[in-house]
Structure 1
């Protein structure tokens, strides 16, 4: 992602509320503490690798959520976005909103999810990619000294396996039928009520652990 496209800190604080926050003062929202309710949260996050808005929500919501590693929260990510899949011989070709670079970036994300069996590790690895333009250089930097991992991810993305994985995420995305990304479902619902409940629960956890900025810094790759 070109550095010039990344919003400044002030705009992040404003834009983030459009995705994960709502006014909890009305009667529409339950007043009980979500931290003590025992409710489990299944988060499904639909995004694309070169979208500034996807980067925003991944960095300040999905990444910190994964880093918390709370047993009540499960996260699924779907790297496809506003894209199309076409048959090409025995394989597939793709058209992505931000061009071929994004299609390849989406394949890299899909391959990470396939190769890293630890879901939290895979989500945080892709967070690293999101912060470094989701290209081959990003894979090398995020893999660091993990022998063979960078090569395996890039080999996967360039192969038919990478195309099959991206088609899979395209098929799953079509089931949801969103009109824009990022798109989030919480326990199968896209309502802001559920989003607000989840965000309030996260805020309760953060008070006992670290604030959002410190969590983000903790999972960010070291230069």
Structure 2
């Protein structure tokens, strides 16, 4: 995200009403892209918020906390952690953490000529879900938003296209399915298999979580209990306000008339 600060300030001052809400009817971009450009920030009515976020990021000079999730698309525990813990934490702490998703989990791959065949713990539908999510992660900047939508729905596979259409405005669903059904998807899933099988220590279950490349039972338990608290505690830079870093106190009241 790169803005010209003086230009943004000028726009904000001349269009302060744009920053009074978090989006506007003319906004067609998913939240992850609201601050991607000045035009997008204006259309979505978040110029002020993007300015504040950019200022906050400029102060975050230390390395982010790197969270990797090894999972499979139809695993109940994986879905619960991704939708109920990982995604909300990322929304709140995106300035101090990065997230890598590796959909493969307890699957097994077998060579088949120049390609691979995959057998998944929860059957062929899970293999399809893993493949869709692998292609999304490779092709769409809104992949994590789409995957959250899929994994929090009642049916991961059936919701995939509608979730995609909510968050992705530039790619077509057909391109994602071309990846899923073609050599690209097969190669991406192979890479996920290699990465999963290279874990040290080897994964024993999913969801399997690493923090800054490390997995211990203590880190796993803390991440499962409160990933938000864990990331705030592990970040070595100045704590953002949401972590309690600036000790803000809000004393605004709505009095009875």
Which TM class, normalised by the smaller chain length? 0.5 to 0.7
Aligned 8 A contact 1:79 1:169 in 2: yes
TM-score, normalisation: structure 1: 0.67
Flag structure 1 segments of 5+ consecutive residues without an equivalent: 1-35, 209-223
Aligned to 1:57: 81
| Higher Rg of the two aligned structures | 2
Cα distance change on mapping 1:200 and 1:101 into 2, 3 Å: same
Higher RCO, 1 vs 2 (CA within 8 Å, ≥6 residues apart):
1
Flag structure 2 segments of 5+ consecutive residues without an equivalent: 1-59, 233-240, 246-257
TM-score, normalisation: structure 2: 0.59
**Number of residue pairs matched by the alignment:** 168
Cα distance change on mapping 1:149 and 1:68 into 2, 3 Å: farther
Which of 221, 236, 242 is 1:205 aligned to? 242
Secondary structure in structure 1 of the residue aligned to 2:125: helix
Which of 115, 123, 134 is 2:156 aligned to? 134
Aligned to 1:220: none
Residue 158 (str. 1) matches residue 195 (str. 2)? no
Which of 199, 207, 213 is 1:188 aligned to? 213
Query: How far apart are 1:140 and its partner, in Å?
Result: 1.8
How far apart, in 1, do the equivalents of 2:203 and 2:218 lie? 18
How far apart, in 2, do the equivalents of 1:113 and 1:40 lie? 20
How far apart, in 2, do the equivalents of 1:141 and 1:206 lie? 34
Aligned to 1:110: 134
Secondary structure in structure 2 of the residue aligned to 1:92: strand
How far apart, in 2, do the equivalents of 1:55 and 1:131 lie? 7
